[in-house]
Amino acid sequence: MSTTQRSTAPGKARRAKAGKPRHSQVQKSKRKAERLDARSKERAQRFQARTKKATPSSPHIREVKPLRAEGTHSFRDLGITPALANALSAQGITEPFPIQIATIPDAIAGSDILGRGQTGSGKTLAFSLSLLTNISKKVAKPHKPLALILTPTRELAQQIDHVIRPLARAVGHESIVIAGGMPYPKQITALRKATAIVVATPGRLIDLLNRNEVQLDHLQIAVLDEADQMADMGFLPVVKEILDQSDPNGQRLLFSATLDRGVDALVRKYLKNPKTHSLQSDQASVTTMEHHVLQMHPGDKDDITSQIAARRGKTILFVKTQRGADRLADKLAHAGVAVGALHGGKSQAVRTRTLALFKEQENSALVATDVAARGIHVDGISLVVHVDLPQDHKDYLHRSGRTARAGESGTVVTLSSSKHQRAVTGLLSRAGVTPQIHDVKPLDKKLMVLTGAQEPSGVPYVAPVVAANRPKYAGKRRRYGR
């Protein structure tokens, strides 16, 4: 082939191609979106098929069907003590959830329990009622609690204590939170006064064990809540050290969304022939939540985020970093949104006040990081916003689990651009979710219908000042270390 022929051939090809009718950019984008959506649905179907076929890797774990409530039950029918049933009635709690119906009788009978599934199902009340029924007629000794509840975060420990404390008092017991970032004196004093129930994070508890301020040889029941999150945070070696110091004949209840990252080994070593109850996690999330991906021009993201945050109702917005959380909260507050930021860089006092304000205010927003995701148990959150895409599908489920709790419905939206659509749909398919994808602009009708977005007031929001209640000490203050 000659040099002339080689040089002219491409030109002919271009001219021939130019003579053909060309599709518009809009049509190309539409076809691409349809292809991506089809792939996303196919991946989701494959994921769900694999999930149904999966079996536990441990021979000590037997899989059971997802929980379903059949017939009518009352808490008294489940075998809890009458004092607890009366305390629940006083709070307006009369009908148990499926996880409570399934696990409470087994736990009261003394069986070890393995509960699998997402948060928001009522498991806190399930293990609290079982635990309190089993220790109701027993007496704790100084430094020797009867029951231990281990959690990954301070916020979750405080939420559990908020549930269990009034019930414990109904049967003559007290509870105490043992967690880092909180003063030692109150915790040590409670242990010396023979507090029966300890709700703890692993780090602070092992510290007090090493100081000999707490001994676990009289422990009757140990509950591990959110065990997979403790594994993600690197707490499993400490958890094993704690369990090794407890009574080997004691009862163990473990709750975890998954059995990976060492949780399965924990089950095999410390649970004896556990009764397994599988919460219908991913399927339940799909049926009680609406999942949407909002695609937008990157330049519109700040406006759309502030308009969503200004909606009526409780909204939680998730970002990747502490700095990002503070930055977004400042922007929203300047725009007139009642907002707070929650992350591990805040002091415990600030985190407690921020969460309390979020609970009290009917219309408010909370900006949080993934570390705080499992510690946020607030009723009435109707919208979860993934401002930043989570690292993996587990984080997506943990974040999204802040809404649609205990049978309620909720909406989850992910903010994205067409540039990141493949990453978003891939992550959601691994979570077993097929979202609806929408192109939105600031304050367009679709955005307002899906999220309730509205224009912020423009009047900068200033959080109310809450006076701290400081304890009064008589005489010289004793130091317990840092």
Band of residue 346 on the pLDDT scale cut at 50, 70, 90: confident
Could you tell me how many residues make up the chain?
482
Between residues 74 and 37, which one has the greater pLDDT? 74
Which one, of 203, 240, 195, 237, lies nearest residue 222 by Cα?
Answer: 240
85 touches 75 (CB < 8 A): yes
DSSP letter at 419 equals: G
Please tell me the least confidently modeled range out of 65-79, 295-309, 352-366.
Answer: 65-79
Q: Which amino acid is at 231?
A: A
User: Over the stretch 161-185, which tens digit does the pLDDT of each residue have?
Assistant: 999 999 999 999 999 999 998 899 9
pTM: 0.69
Residue 100: alpha-carbon gap to chain centroid: 19
Strand duo 436-439 + 364-368: pairing? unpaired
Q: What pLDDT, on the 0 to 100 scale, is given for residue 431?
A: 85
The token duo for 398 is: 């943990």
* H helix or E strand, kind and range, residue 244: helix 236-244
Give backbone dihedrals phi and psi of 38, rounded to 5 degrees, phi first: -65, -40
The token duo for 315 is: 């909204």
Band of residue 442 on the pLDDT scale cut at 50, 70, 90: very high
CATH number for 283-451: choose from 3.90.600.10, 2.40.160.10, 3.40.50.300, 3.90.1170.50. 3.40.50.300
User: Over the stretch 21-30, which tens digit does the pLDDT of each residue have?
Assistant: 445 554 555 5
Rounded Cα distance between 198 and 415, Å, is: 40
Query: Is pLDDT of 418 > 90?
Result: no
Rounded Cα distance between 3 and 1, Å, is: 7
- Which residues make beta-bridge pairs with 175? 197
Query: Is pLDDT of 119 > 50?
Result: yes
User: Over the stretch 235-278, which tens digit does the pLDDT of each residue have?
Assistant: 999 999 999 999 999 999 998 877 777 888 999 999 999 999 87
156 touches 377 (CB < 8 A): yes
Rounded Cα distance between 318 and 302, Å, is: 14
Fold annotation for 76-279: Rossmann fold (3.40.50)
Query: Is pLDDT of 78 > 50?
Result: yes
The token duo for 69 is: 């409530």
Between residues 345 and 147, which one has the greater pLDDT? 147
Give the DSSP letter string of 256-270: ES--TTTHHHHHHHH
User: Over the stretch 201-239, which tens digit does the pLDDT of each residue have?
Assistant: 999 999 999 999 999 999 999 999 989 889 888 899 999
Instruction: Name every residue whose Cβ is closer than 8 Å to that of residue 299 and which is 6 or more positions away in sequence.
Output: none
| Burial call 211-243: b when 16+ CB within 10 Å, e when fewer | eebbbbeebbbbbbbbbbbbbbbebbebbbebb
State how far the alpha carbon of 223 is from the alpha carbons of 41, 149, 190, 476, in Å: 38, 5, 20, 38
Query: Same topology for domains 76-279 and 283-451, yes or no?
Result: yes
Q: What pLDDT, on the 0 to 100 scale, is given for residue 202?
A: 96
Sequence-ordered alpha helix ranges (H) in 245-347: 263-270, 281-288, 301-309, 322-335
Rounded Cα distance between 463 and 340, Å, is: 8
| C-alpha torsion angle, residues 68, 392, 58, 47 (rounded to 10) | 60
Rounded Cα distance between 315 and 371, Å, is: 18
The whole-number average pLDDT for the span 133-146 is 96
Rounded Cα distance between 436 and 451, Å, is: 13
Instruction: Delimit the domains of the chain by residue range.
Output: 76-279, 283-451
- Which residues make beta-bridge pairs with 223? 149, 253
Q: What pLDDT, on the 0 to 100 scale, is given for residue 118?
A: 59
Which one, of 280, 237, 276, 281, lies nearest residue 254 by Cα?
Answer: 276
State how far the alpha carbon of 306 is from the alpha carbons of 135, 160, 332, in Å: 49, 32, 6
Instruction: Name every residue whose Cβ is closer than 8 Å to that of residue 113 and which is 6 or more positions away in sequence.
Output: 103, 106, 107, 127, 130, 252, 253, 254, 274, 275, 277
Rounded Cα distance between 374 and 281, Å, is: 15
Q: How is the chain split among helix, strand and coil, in percent rounded to 5?
A: 45, 15, 40
